[in-house]
Each structure stands twice: as structure tokens, then as C-alpha cells.
A and B are shown apart, each in its own frame.
Chain A
């Protein structure tokens, strides 16, 4: 009986997850067709090409930018989550505000940042009207803009699990720490942070992995100059018409994310989270 109820989900997963994944796997071992598409023979070349310094540099950039975005999300998100978890009756209001950006499309929100950051945008206009700067600042189309876009878009993914962990934190633990002689900062460092480490890890994973594969934000805010792994994959399927190499690159990205997750699952922190 239970199997019957699982059938739709199984069908869905088979059709939209397993099948495309199998296709990508197969493509990654095939040869590029002249006008896109794939041809025989089977080769390993697509994977060996990934070791090219050019692509390793892109991989490194992606890891670096995704790491920075994760660190900034944690620095902004932890105090925010702590504040919300202790906000009493206003908790739900603040949580709604954190989720408010999701009411608008990801694409539109990213375009909005272009209007804010471009030469004739909000920031530059205000600064110039106030005569604080003579010429527009180059705020768009650099790594900073990409980082800003990533942190902005993924902050809620950090705040929500962090909030869920901090919300469960027994207030008596904080009183016990104070009672035993800990000042507020010591309580934060020696009680709140270690006890909420699972939320910190969960939030970081939820930010880091999508940031690693992000392509829309670097594309729009990085102006094509700030290439990340996601853009590499996208380019291979569109302009470069090299589907096999694009498939190999996307598999490498998935593998990197999966290894990272597997490593975390085996860690002590993850076991406590479960």
C-alpha cells in the first residue's frame, strides 16, 4: 500500500532527476558535435581538460567567492537570527520580513541591484548630487558586485536554519552561564556559539553550495568578467556549443558539492544536528 503512495514521487524523481542526470553523465564521455549536440566516439578528454590551469583558476575563483559570500552571510545572519530569536512576540513579523524578498523573482531583484549600482544609478547619483564624488564610482561589473548580489540573495538561507537553532536554545543556559560568572560576550563565545553550531553549519552549507554553482548573479552583476563555475557550464551549452565539456564541468561541480556535504555529514556537528 505504501508503495502506491510513493509512486508519483518516484516517477517524478525518475523523470526529472535521474534521467537528466544519466543524460549529463553520458554526454560527458561523448565528443562534441559540429553544431552543438554530441557524437561518438566515447572519450575521457572532457575530464582531462578540466585540469587545464584556466579552468582550475575558475574553480578556485568560484570557491573563493562562494566562501566569502558564506562568511559575509554568517557575519550578517548570525546577529540577525539571534535578534529575531529573542524578539518575543515580534518574531513572526521579523521572519516575514526576512522572507519578503522571495515574493519577487530572483531575476528582478538582481536587476534591481543593477539600477542601484550602475553609473547613473541610485548610489552614484546621490553621491554626486552631494558632491562627495566628481565621477561615478565603478560599482557594477566587478567581484564586489557579484559578492554583494550573492550575499543579498542567499542571506535568508543562512538566517532561517540559524534562527531555528537559536530559537531552541534554552534561555536557562544563558542564565546558568551568567550565574557561573560569564559576562555576555563570554556567554556568546562559550555557550551560544557552540550550542548553535549545527545551525551555523547548516546555514553555511545552504549558502555555500548554491553560491558555488551560481551563474545568474555573476552573469548580471559581474558583467561576464567575473566568471564562476556556473557561467563556465552555461557558456559551454550556449555560445561554445561544447555540450560534452559542459556536462563534465557540471558533473565536477556536483561532485565537489557532494563531497563537501558527505564530509559534513560524517562530522560530529552534523550528527548532533540530526
Chain B
């Protein structure tokens, strides 16, 4: 097999729902062994795109290719991909081990008990193999769902907001685990999320979706530092709009005196929020807009109502047509 052959290729996929177009000419190619994210707000078409790849929905136009072959007509059970569902969708009548064995049995894989035990070991649940889903915690269910899919060694693993149901501390821990799991197995992951921090921290490449279309596809650094559109700039972290120029809060500085030779705006301090490692100073611009400056806490000597100058390095400006 051609090592550069994409694991998954989407060619101008369209999916229409009554009254709106959920997926609007999405094209995407995923290379083997990488961690990809589909990032966007709810209703942007990312889950529909994932469901089309999994075979749960059919595209109205366009082609889905897995390892170079068009699979538009193939049912989910005929595709070499597996999905980790948002609410895990574990079979409540089966033990953890029974859940992991399910797919091996359906696909007629020999030696399924050993494989299933190894998969449970991989997610560190070997000691809970006889528990029913109802007797497992959220994080444990999550890991059973992961083992159930990974044990089939699919070419591509689809993850539909798998961390959304977990509490924040566990979510951060699972990020690292998922990433480690992807590196260990070498399986391509396609991870759907609306959480930009999640997408940026785990992915090799992020596809940012909005209104059914991909606005930018690039590395986390590219989409964060060089966003292609105003939407991408705004969705991936906060941004201040100074006319046509967008400046991230961490690149925005404050001064009492008007700085020489730097772009700047006059503003009135409205409030400052202490965030532990830094301070967010909210200010009202003269033109009616609002802006945030993220500054080190030892520099926070600005009082509410004070008139200040917000300035920035022109190199930090994000500009869009």
C-alpha cells in the first residue's frame, strides 16, 4: 500500500437537512497515524460529517474514500472504521469484557478473549472486566468504549465529543491519555469537539468548521497564530478588534502615556479579573467597542474608570480581507 495514501478522503461532501445544509462541500484528506480534530460550534456540521464517515448517514453529494476506495454505499458494519460515541453507547446487558468482545465476535476474529483482555489492559481496566456499564464511572465507561473500538484495530477511529460528559479535571487527564493512546496504537484519530483548547492541545492538525464548511485546515499553531478567517480567529480564543486589525488579548498592552510609534487606541478601564497566573483588564474603547488586555498580575496597577492607551506590536496583528 502507498504509505502516502490518505486513510480517509472526503470529496466535496454535501448533506442537506430540511431547511438547511448541514454539510456544505467539505473536502478533507487524512494521513495515516495522525491525530486530527474537527472543531466548531454546535450545529456547524462536524458531527454530521463524522456520521457520514461512520456510515450512519449518506452524503447527498460527494464521495467518501477509505484507503482509496469509495465507500458511499457501504453500511457501518462493512467499513473499516470505528466510532466512540458521545455517551459511549455501551451495551448495558454486557460486562466490560463482553462489550469489548462484541465487535470481535461479530467480525469473527479468532482468539477474541485474549485480544479483549489485552485491550482492557491497555485502558487499565483489566480488574473491572466483569463490571456492567452501570457499575462503572464516567471515565471508566469512556475507556471501555475506547477499548471496544481499538480492539478491532480500525484504520480510522472516529470520536464524537467523547470528553463532553466528563467533569473538567477528568477531561484534562483524558486528553493526555487519548493522545498517548493514539501514538501507541498508530491508528488515525478523527476527533470531533467544540472545545478549542481540547482540539489545540491534542491534534496534529485541526479542521475548523463553520456553517457546514471547513474554514481552515492546519496545525494548531497555524490556526491559532495565522487564522485564515475572522471566524477562525474569534473561535480559537479571544480576540480584540481594532478596526480591521485583530489582536489577541495576550498581545495587547496597556499604558498611561500614549506610546510613540506604536498602533494604539484610547480606552476606559471597566474592570479587571484576577485569573491567578494573569489579569484580564476589560476596557471600553472610544469607538464603542470593547477589548481585553491580558497582563502579568504585577503590572495590574490600573483602576476602574481610568483612561489608558491600549497598544500592540504591529507584527501581532491578524488581518483579514
Of the stretches A74-82, A86-94, A169-177, the one at the interface is A169-177
Name the residue on B nearest A171 (C-beta): B89
> Among B56, B92, B102, which residue has its beta carbon within 8 angstroms of that of A180?
B102
Within B71-107, which residues are at the interface with A (CB < 8 Å)?
75-77, 82-83, 85-87, 89-93, 102-103, 106-107
A178 & B91 in contact (Cβ 8 Å cutoff): no
Name the residue on A nearest B51 (C-beta): A175
> Among A175, A186, A195, which residue has its beta carbon within 8 angstroms of that of B93?
A195
Whether A179 contacts B83 in the complex (CB less than 8 A), given A173-B89, A173-B91, comes out as yes
A182 at the interface (CB under 8 A from B): yes
**CA A179 to CA B103, docked complex, whole Å:** 8
Within A174-195, which residues are at the interface with B (CB < 8 Å)?
175-183, 186, 190-191, 194-195
B82 & A190 in contact (Cβ 8 Å cutoff): no
**How many interface contacts (CB-CB < 8 Å) are there between A and B?**
63
Chain A 192-227, CB-CB to B under 8 Å as 1, else 0, gives 001101000000000000000000000000000000
Q: Which residues of B contact A181 (CB under 8 A)?
A: 77, 103, 106-107, 152
Name the residue on A nearest B83 (C-beta): A179
Q: Which residues of B contact A197 (CB under 8 A)?
A: 93
Q: Which residues of B contact A175 (CB under 8 A)?
A: 54, 56, 76, 83, 85, 89
Whether A172 contacts B87 in the complex (CB less than 8 A), given A180-B106, A181-B107, comes out as yes
Q: How far is the CB of B264 from chain A (nearest CB, A)?
A: 53
A178 & B76 in contact (Cβ 8 Å cutoff): yes
Q: How large is the interface on B (under 10, 10 to 19, 20 to 34, 35 or more residues)?
A: 20 to 34
> Among A172, A179, A186, A195, which residue has its beta carbon within 8 angstroms of that of B82?
A179
Within B135-185, which residues are at the interface with A (CB < 8 Å)?
148-149, 152
Q: Which residues of A contact B107 (CB under 8 A)?
A: 180-181
Q: Which residues of A contact B90 (CB under 8 A)?
A: 176
Whether A182 contacts B89 in the complex (CB less than 8 A), given A175-B56, A176-B83, comes out as no
B77 & A178 in contact (Cβ 8 Å cutoff): yes
Main secondary structure of the interface of B (DSSP, over half): loop
Q: Which residues of A contact B86 (CB under 8 A)?
A: 172
B76 & A179 in contact (Cβ 8 Å cutoff): yes
B152 & A194 in contact (Cβ 8 Å cutoff): no
**CA A224 to CA B273, docked complex, whole Å:** 88
Total contacting residues, chain A, CB less than 8 A = 18
> Among B77, B83, B93, B103, which residue has its beta carbon within 8 angstroms of that of A194?
B93
Q: Which residues of A contact B82 (CB under 8 A)?
A: 179-180
B152 & A180 in contact (Cβ 8 Å cutoff): yes
A172 & B85 in contact (Cβ 8 Å cutoff): yes
A186 & B76 in contact (Cβ 8 Å cutoff): no
**CA A19 to CA B2, docked complex, whole Å:** 85
**CA A63 to CA B55, docked complex, whole Å:** 48
Q: How far is the CB of A174 from chain B (nearest CB, A)?
A: 9
Name the residue on A nearest B160 (C-beta): A172
**CA A175 to CA B85, docked complex, whole Å:** 9
**CA A179 to CA B88, docked complex, whole Å:** 13
Q: Which residues of B contact A178 (CB under 8 A)?
A: 55-56, 75-77
B91 & A191 in contact (Cβ 8 Å cutoff): yes
**CA A180 to CA B157, docked complex, whole Å:** 12
Q: Which residues of A contact B103 (CB under 8 A)?
A: 179-181
Among the interface residues A176, A180, A181, which one has the most CB atoms of the partner chain B within 10 A? A180
A176 & B77 in contact (Cβ 8 Å cutoff): no
Q: Which residues of A contact B106 (CB under 8 A)?
A: 177, 180-182, 186, 190
A176 & B89 in contact (Cβ 8 Å cutoff): yes
**CA A180 to CA B83, docked complex, whole Å:** 8
**CA A179 to CA B89, docked complex, whole Å:** 11
**CA A181 to CA B54, docked complex, whole Å:** 12
B102 & A190 in contact (Cβ 8 Å cutoff): yes
Q: Which residues of B contact A183 (CB under 8 A)?
A: 77
B54 & A176 in contact (Cβ 8 Å cutoff): no
Q: How far is the CB of A173 from chain B (nearest CB, A)?
A: 5
Q: Which residues of B contact A180 (CB under 8 A)?
A: 77, 82, 102-103, 106-107, 148-149, 152
Further contacts, 10 of them, CB under 8 A, given A176-B83, A181-B103 = A173-B91, A175-B56, A175-B76, A177-B106, A179-B54, A179-B82, A180-B149, A181-B77, A182-B106, A195-B93
Q: 18 pairs across A/B with beta carbons < 8 Å? A: A170-B87, A172-B85, A172-B86, A175-B54, A175-B76, A175-B85, A175-B89, A176-B83, A176-B90, A177-B102, A178-B75, A179-B55, A180-B148, A180-B152, A181-B103, A181-B152, A186-B106, A194-B93
Chain B interface residues (CB < 8 Å from chain A): 54-56, 75-77, 82-83, 85-87, 89-93, 102-103, 106-107, 148-149, 152
Chain A interface residues (CB < 8 Å from chain B): 170, 172-173, 175-183, 186, 190-191, 194-195, 197
